[in-house]
Amino acid sequence: MRVCRVGAGEGVLDYFDLKNARWGGARAGSGRKTSGRVQYVTRLEPSLVQRIKARAKKEKRPGCEVVEALLRPALAR
């Protein structure tokens, strides 16, 4: 059995094969796929937020979809 003696002049890397090592970074193709949407943060009155959440729950869809559906016709002009 080989004992690691880092303090005695041996390095920890002496125990690993570093020929094919890749350090850091994400693997190609990993992670979530982009949705194509952009986050936009704003402040709203609490009563308005409650109404948006209630409508989203009633329609069984995310609040962001409710907000988009309400804003799209208003901004289409």
Q: What would the pLDDT profile of 11-56 be if each residue is shown by its tens digit?
A: 777 777 777 777 777 778 888 888 888 999 999 999 999 999 999 9
Tokens 């880092």 identify what position?
Answer: 6
- Classify residue 26: in a domain, yes or no: no
Contact in structure between 63 and 56 (CB atoms under 8 Å): yes
Tokens of 66: 């409710």
Q: Tell me the residue range of the domain where 60 lies.
A: 43-77
Task: Supply the pLDDT for residue 48.
Answer: 96
- Classify residue 27: in a domain, yes or no: no
Give the chain's domain count. Answer: 1
Residue type, 29: G
